[in-house]
Amino acid sequence: MSSPSQTWKDQLSTQMPEALAREIDVFETQITLRKQGKIEEKLFAETRLRRGVYGQRYDNGQRHDGEKSQELNFPCGALTKGPITVWDAPGMMRIKIPYGKLSARQLEVLAELAEEYSDQILHVTTRQDIQLHFVHIEDTPDLMRRLAAVGITTREACGNSVRNVTACPYAGVCNTQSFDVTPYANALTYFLLGHDDCQDFGRKFKIAFSGCEGESCGLANFHDLGAVATTRTENGTTLRGFRLFVGGGLGSVPQNAQLFDAFLPESELLPTAQAICRVFARLGEKQNRAKARLKFLVKKLGLEEFKRLVLEERDKLRPDERWTAFLSDLHVTDEAPLRPGSPVPSGADASFSAWQRTNVRPQAQEGYGAVTITLPLGDFTSDQARALADLMRKYTGDSLRCTADQNLVMRWVPNGDLPALRADLQAIGLGTGGAGTITDICSCPGTDTCKLGISSSRSLSSELSRQLKEMGDELPEAARGLHIKASGCFNSCGQHHVADLGFLGVSRNVGGRRVPHFQLVVGGQWENNGGSYGMAIGAIPSKRVPDAVKRIVGKFVNERQGEETFHTYINRVGKKEIRAIVDELQVIPPFEVDPSFYSDWGDPRVYTIGDMGVGECAGEIVPFVEMGLAGAEREVFEAQELLEKNDVAGAAKRAYGAMLQAARALTKDRNQNLGDDPAEIVAEFKTHFFDTKLFFDQFAGPKFANFLFKTHDEGGKAESKEAAHQLVDEAQLFVDAAHQCYARLGSSLSTPVQA
Amino acid sequence: MQAEKLQIKLFATTHTVSLEAFVPVFHEWIRVNKLPELMIDVAPYDHVPHGPGILFVGHGSDYFIDEGKGRLGLLYSRKREAPAPGERLRDSLRRAVYVASQLEAEPSLAGHLKFATNELLLRVNDRLRLPSSPAAFEANKAELQAFFGDVLGTAVELSLVSEPRELFTVSVKLPPGAPSPSLAELLTRLGGPPTA
Ligand code: HEM
Ligand code: SF4
């Protein structure tokens, strides 16, 4: 039995990559500092968001019980983890899963974490991440360590950063792809992760890869950066590249991406993305969050000017071997099947055939199928996750992908094994069919856990799915292929714009009371990478939405011409006819007659919007300089702790590190290409802040700057405890001086240096 | 117990209500501050087969109307701020038994729900402190036997029922025919309803 004093930190020390382990220690220190009131709440909020630690409904310490708002008396008292965010309130942990790929071991660890720190549920998001809910902030460092030990980081899962890089879940096994985008998505993920040029954004930045143009899977059309694989033949050789799109996005003002380059050679992918990030960091809106996504910048500048600025920036970049190093081995992300491919056994029963039709895609590789595991609302349990890990080992080797429609895909299943796999999936409650059909509904968290939720998108989706499944064979064939997606508010996290029938939560006043509604958006396209957005028709009371769906679907089935898609149908009949259906459903009985309309699906409380809080979607704008100075501050604190433990060498190293970090935070602003090398930092600091006297103190002149030069010359070492002590004191003074300098220069520092 | 995060699952013997029926009950309990601890929200997971069912989320503890492994029951789960090591088992069982008795008495559920007292599970939600292994079971058996023997009857039989990847889980059972206390008796033996 392990001894009770043992910690995850000790237990996993040899299994975590060093850099990740250090980052998590740093985050834990920041938690300590915040509890001591030594970090300001805004800064702490952005720090935690950048680690994937997100707020959740009721974390302002208030909850409406249907009659009145009640205080949630958490024991932490006044301590907060961000503006209006109570420390003890449970939160959401977003776990970044690059292009949705999970190994069996990773799945097992996620299962453990869901049990030990959350509620036994693993939730697949619309951007291929895994989320855990009701997590306490003080559990997050250990949670992160356990992830780090299996190669997962939560870094930049939220906040103003490069979010999860997504890709089609069939990449590598797909019949229509130009080539496997996985190694490119992988390279770009780790190249941009924590990259200096991505730390000063005014808003999040989303990247998606797709293997082809026509299918939906990559959704490149509504991302800040979308890369669609393509090839070109020159002098008999096939060259790989990307159709690169920029400035797409959903949200309240959805925007189609624009074509930036019809053929960006593979070798230019990373530097171009880096240059785009720099331009976004420099010129993107910082004050008005509602206008801060890249789509607004591209619109404001115009595509041509934006492109010119990016190419100009591209030329200024300091060359980086990582830009092309990954191209020498594009097989790093390849998956090896466990068994040879085989034909589908004949004589399958009807239930298997129905499942096979919707949930199995033949792979490009003969004899294999990719199996979709349909998840209700993107949820599965810890027990199911462990059982799935076993099935992966039994049938496919080691890869599973989360999908943007909140399911899982198991690839490399030999066709001969499909019936057995189906039976095994059924035994763990995961054998449901209907993937990608009208019953397989996507939903954002909505009022269940989201602070901004207006209506319960999850419970609506659950109810709709239940009712449509109940129709069984009565559900007309033409209706089955439709997509339904729901968002709890206009922020569109459920991607409702790109569904045949999309819903977004709104509220309406009826007879002096609030009534939960959903705005209906029809005719969007999931195909063509989320090719076009639907039209808003009108708001329907939540409780009438299933009725509305059945009526509209019935109308479509009756009036459809030939093989017409819903999208074409809607464009043909126009908004007005659909609106008539909605209008009819809008009138509801008074509260006294039927109170059921006045509460939402899955929530019996009398409906209110009193629980809505301030979202953290935009994070807090904290300039790079301030992040850096706060980091330096924290290093001084750590140096002091090491000194107390008589670790002289460690304390000196940290003190030196703190000075370098503070110097770099300032200097980076003057030289965007500044690297990590101490000699370079010191030299550039000298040029921009010492020689110019900008760093000089009013009374002490060059004194504090000289601490850095001296420490650097000595290599950050101390001979004795006294010397280390002095060094730590000097580091503190240097960091203070850096703060002073920033305060003096203020706007001139944080204002971007124009090209 | 050295581990803080103890869980107790009490099995339902009869249940003719859907999981959904618990949702309004818990919302109402929050409204009237029914439990002497801070409860925050209700999360329905009834769409997930054999899952956590309906979650009643609190600050120090969670309560699930849980369907794990296909058996319906009340799962109590201590998350933080556990009492002193010597008090932990008693405290967890007491909270579970109290909530079970309140659910049995709840007007909208009355007559539809009964909990067994001749069988329960003890789980430890902390793999670091107590991994699921025969050795860990042996090391803790005496303490568990003494505690459950005292409150349920000396005939209780304990067995480790979890595989290594799962949470340390011990089945606590009275042999067939052995008298088992009512929920009310059990609660009295445990010191009555929790007070904080
Ligand atoms: C003003 C605030 C917010 C905006 C504008 C916003 C916008 C979006 C958009 C447009 C998407 C998805 C589509 C895409 O990939 O472009 C998304 C994803 C998502 N959002 Fe939000 N969101 C906000 C706040 C929140 C909050 C408060 C929550 C709940 C805690 C939330 C939960 C999610 C989830 C679960 C996803 C899927 C994402 C992932 O893994 O990255 N969002 N958000
Ligand atoms: S769409 Fe609205 S309710 Fe849904 S997760 Fe996003 S912000 Fe929350």
- Residue of A5, A108, A113, A119 for testing the chain B interface, max B β-carbons within 10 Å: A119
Residues 6+ apart with CB under 8 A from A68: none
Q: What chain A residue is nearest to B68 in terms of C-alpha separation?
A: A383
A chain contacts of residue B131, beta-carbon cutoff 8 Å: 1-2
Q: Let me know: does B129 contact B135? Beta carbons within 8 Å.
A: no
Q: Counting one residue from A and one from B, how many pairs have CB atoms under 8 Å apart?
A: 111
Look up residue B119 and give its two tokens: 């069988």
Q: What is the ipTM of this complex?
A: 0.98
* pLDDT for position A749: 60
Structure confidence by residue, pLDDT tens digits, A54-92: 999 999 999 999 889 999 999 999 999 999 999 999 999
Chain A residues 322-361 within an 8 A CB cutoff of chain B: none
The ligand whose atoms approach the alpha carbon of A502 most closely is: 2
- The Cα A553–Cα A464 span in angstroms is 13
pLDDT (0 to 100) of residue A724: 93
The tens place of each residue's pLDDT in chain B, 196 residues long, gives 889 999 999 999 988 899 999 999 999 999 999 999 999 999 999 999 999 999 999 999 999 999 999 999 999 999 999 999 999 999 999 999 999 999 999 999 988 999 999 999 999 999 999 999 999 999 999 999 999 999 999 999 999 999 999 999 999 999 999 999 999 999 999 999 999 8
Residue (of A465, A440, A122, A437) closest to B45 by Cα position: A122
Chain A contact for B67 (CB, 8 A cutoff): no
Tell me, in angstroms, the distance from the centre of ligand 1 to residue A337's CA: 35
Q: Would you say A158 and A52 are in contact if contact means Cβ atoms under 8 Å apart?
A: yes
What residue of B is the nearest CA neighbor of A379?
B48
Tokens of B86: 């010597």
Rounded distance between C-alpha atoms, residue A228 and residue A212, angstroms: 6
A136·B45 Cβ contact <8 A: no
Kindly state whether B171 is in contact with chain A, defined as any CB-CB distance less than 8 angstroms: no
- Sorted by sequence, the CB contacts under 8 Å of residue B116 that are 6+ apart come out as B10, B11, B12, B13, B180
Show the ligand 2 pocket: residues with CB < 6 angstroms. A 444-446, 450, 452-453, 457, 487-489, 491-494, 615
Name the maximum alpha-carbon separation found in chain B.
45
Q: Which of A74, A133, A134 minimises the CB distance to B38?
A: A74
Q: Is A702 on the interface with B (CB under 8 A)?
A: no
pLDDT at A10: 96
Structure tokens at A493: 């996290």
Q: Which atom of ligand 2 is nearest to the CA of A453?
A: 3
Q: Hey, which residues does A603 pair with through a beta bridge?
A: A600
Low-confidence ranges of chain A (pLDDT < 50): 1-4, 750-755
Question: DSSP letter string over A318-361?
Answer: PP-THHHHGGG-TTTT----SS---PPPS---HHHHHHHHHHEE
Cβ distance of A119 and B128 shorter than 8 Å:
no
Question: In whole angstroms, what is the distance from residue A362 CA to residue B6 CA?
Answer: 46
B152-165 burial code (b ≥16 CB/10 A, e <16) = bbeebebebebeee
Considering only CB atoms, which chain B residues are within 8 Å of A451?
Answer: none
Residues of B whose CB is below 8 A from A63: 30, 40-41
Residue A105 forms contact with B (CB below 8 Å): no
Closest CA to A148 of A11, A16, A9, A10: A16
**Contact check, Cβ <8 Å, B27/A2:** no
Global pTM value: 0.91
Question: What is the CA(A441)–ligand 2 centre distance, in A?
Answer: 16
**CA distance to partner chain A, nearest, from residue B135 (Å):** 7
pLDDT at B1: 84
Question: What's the pLDDT score for residue A622?
Answer: 79
Closest C-alpha to A414, from A519, A339, A330: A339
Whether chain B has a CB inside 8 Å of the CB on A558: the answer is no
Ligand nearest to the CA of A161: 1
Q: Hey, is A650 helix, strand or coil? A: helix
Say yes or no: B185 contacts chain A, CB-CB below 8 A. no
Query: What pLDDT, on a 0 to 100 scale, did the predictor assign at position A754?
Result: 31
Cβ A687 vs Cβ A708: under 8 Å: no
Q: Evaluate: CB of A454 within 6 angstroms of ligand 1.
A: no
CA A59 / ligand 1 centre spacing (Å): 17
Q: How far is the CA of A189 from the centre of ligand 1 (A)?
A: 19
Gap between the Cα atoms of A316 and A332, Å rounded: 30
A381/B50 Cβ within 8 A: yes
C-beta of residue A499 within 8 angstroms of C-beta of residue A517: no
* Strands ordered across the beta sheet of A53-54: A53-54, A91-95, A130-135, A121-124, A379-381
How many whole angstroms from A611 Cα to the centroid of ligand 2?
13
Across the interface, of B57, B68, B129, the residue whose CB is closest to A2 is: B129
Percent of chain A with pLDDT over 70: 97
Tokens of A553: 């679907």
Question: Cβ contact (<8 Å) for A604 and B41?
Answer: no
Please check whether residue B55 touches A, CB under 8 A. Answer: yes
Work out the minimum CA distance from B53 to partner chain A, whole angstroms.
10
Tokens matching residue A432: 């449901």
What does residue A482 show for φ and ψ, rounded to 5 degrees? -70, 150
Within A444-551, strands assigned E span 484-487, 501-510, 513-522, 535-541
Looking at the complex, report in whole angstroms how far the Cα of residue B114 sits from the nearest Cα belonging to chain A.
24
Instruction: Please list every residue in chain B whose beta carbon sits closer than 8 Å to the beta carbon of residue A376.
Output: 47-48
Record the tokens describing residue B193, joined without a space: 């309803």
